[in-house]
Structure 1
Amino acid sequence: MSEMNIKENLQVQLDELESLQSMFYNPGEIRIEDQEAFSNIKDYVAGESIDVPYCLNFSVNLLIDGEKFEVCVKLNHDYPYVKPDIYVRNDKLKRNQHFTLNKKIEEILCEFPRGEPCIFVAISWLQDNANNYIELDESNISLAKIEEPDELVRYWIYSHHIYSKTKRKAIMDLANQMNISGFVMPGKPGIICVEGSSRDVVDWWQNIKSMNWKKIFCKISESNKDDTQSDNFLKFEDFVEKVFDNHGPKYNHMDMGELYKYLEEHNLGYIFKDIFGVEART
């Protein structure tokens, strides 16, 4: 993406945020997660900085019929030409209800024309429909209609880097809370493999990607529905951090040969080329 396109997109994002701030002006209704990143975006758009800033992250706190909803928003540099990352939280919603609600919002955003700001559309829909999800009686709902509980997935997540001790702890803690297995390889680049039930993995991913990253995305997703050896789909017993021999000027580049050996030990060596685009060399 060219510098001009990035600036144009960031200007759209700032304008949309300003519009939202004019509608939700009470203290605490809108919270910008990283004020420094917000200032850097404004400087970059104004031509006062040449450094491409981090992404814009903010949350909108809504009171809908007495219930509190938090709308977490992350806008990549190519928004509004790609859909935003939006995740809705509510203390009363159970995990499967969170999944259903956020899945519906994702579907609505996918139907919205590319190039058009759409955050207010998602918020308006939530204001009109949120309580329908709180009032769902789970005893009358078949979870199979929401998502087949037997479906297992594996996400391969690529990050520009993973250094922060806070983020590394959050990755580990959340995975253990949600009964997710896999591993995280910190450094540059950072690689995360998470596997488990679809609902747990999606919920974990929504929480992790809402943090402020320079670049992070799910590069490959696998499902036991597509695996002929579905009985042996899960390859890890728990979730761990793997630090291999590191090198480079800052000793922050992990040994890719060691990573490949680790993948081979778990019958996952085939994924190396798909992630990095080159054959592994041990």
Structure 2
Amino acid sequence: MAQSQTEHAEAQLAEIELLLSMFPSQDELEVEQVAYAELRSYVEGTVDCPPNTRPELCVKIRTHTGVDVSLSCTYPTDYPAVLPEIVVRCGELSRAQHTCLVSGLRSYLRENCTGEVCVLPTVDWLRDHIHEYLEQDDGNDDDGAKGTTETQIGETFTRLWIYSHHIYNKSKRKNILEWAKELQLTGFSMPGKPGVVCVEGLQAACEEFWARVKVLTWKRIMIRHREDVPLESVTQNAESLRRFDGFEEAAFNPHGNRGNHMDLGQLFQFLSERGCAQIFQLYFGVEGR
């Protein structure tokens, strides 16, 4: 296992250094420096312990057709044996087009890159294929941003209440925020101990969010409660059922030696204001006040 972990670290470092040589400007490539330094020290043998911080990088690319795209990537410990966590941003894509692009990219990575470093192939794939998604019909929306918010009879609106033993890691907190926004989910994330996450939106998007989050490394994480509402008429849509306006990380008077504990009274008030007071007892076994 130790040898395998070392090999993974060596492959990660080699890829980062290759990317740095290809994208020398910080306008093109940003690398999280603490994680990079820890990774290099481990590979070079100046420290014995594997890095505590997962490497993160962001590549900013301009495609052949002049479209600006950013590619954020976080390496799991076992990368490249497993695929990295990738977020793609492009202001010219509608929501529907973006969803299709993400699906296409995942399929490409699963079929071609499992077990291999994949950031450069991902950059090349985006350059070669993003125009195909920009040309797709997004439902003739006037503003190009309604593709995933329109609902059809037979779809389901879902709200997931997720409990974690704790949420401290900055990378995980960043992923939670970015994935929720990418999938057009609303809700909130409360870091600390315990950790609470609520996401709401169309069922497929909520399931995709949970599929990504649960495979990260956790001491304990579970869906504590879920709400599913069939959208049985065109007058009942996902937007009318939302309890939250957007997705945010919410902190409630952090305290304790490490500032990791929240004021649960403030959390109860936050939930009550959004018509979700009953959830407090499901999480903590006592009635809020």
Q: Please, what TM-score do these two structures have when normalized by structure 2?
A: 0.64
> How many Å separate the matches in 2 of 1:217 and 1:32?
31
Q: 2:260 aligns with which of 232, 252, 256?
A: 252
> How many Å separate the matches in 2 of 1:113 and 1:26?
25
> 1:86: which partner in 2?
86
Larger deviation, residues 91-100 vs 188-197: 188-197
- With over 3 angstroms needed to count, the CA separation of the structure-2 counterparts of 1:13 and 1:154, relative to structure 1, is farther
SS of the counterpart of 2:17?
helix
* RMSD (CA atoms): 4.9
Larger deviation, residues 91-100 vs 247-256: 247-256
> 1:38: which partner in 2?
36
Kindly indicate whether the alpha-carbon contact (under 8 Å) linking 2:94 and 2:138 is maintained by their aligned counterparts in 1.
no
- With over 3 angstroms needed to count, the CA separation of the structure-2 counterparts of 1:117 and 1:18, relative to structure 1, is same
> How many Å separate the matches in 1 of 2:165 and 2:103?
24
Q: 2:187 aligns with which of 166, 177, 182?
A: 182
Kindly indicate whether the alpha-carbon contact (under 8 Å) linking 1:61 and 1:71 is maintained by their aligned counterparts in 2.
yes
> 1:277: which partner in 2?
none
Structure 2: which 5+ residue stretches go unaligned? none
> How many Å separate the matches in 1 of 2:108 and 2:56?
21
SS of the counterpart of 2:36?
helix
> How many Å separate the matches in 1 of 2:26 and 2:220?
29
> 2:198: which partner in 1?
193
> How many Å separate the matches in 2 of 1:219 and 1:104?
28
State the 1:138 CA deviation.
2.7
> How many Å separate the matches in 2 of 1:145 and 1:157?
30
> How many Å separate the matches in 2 of 1:75 and 1:159?
22
| Aligned pairs (5 A) from 1:98-247 | 98-112=98-112, 114-139=114-139, 149=151, 150-155=155-160, 156=162, 158=164, 160-162=166-168, 171=177, 180-197=185-202, 220=223, 227=228, 229-230=229-230, 236-237=243-244, 241=250, 243=252
1:16-75 per-position Cα deviation (integer Å, ceiling 9, x unaligned): 2233344x3453464233212211111122222336331111122222122222111111
Partner letter of residue 98 of structure 2?
A: H
The percent of aligned pairs where both chains have the same amino acid is 27
1:96 is aligned to 2:101: no
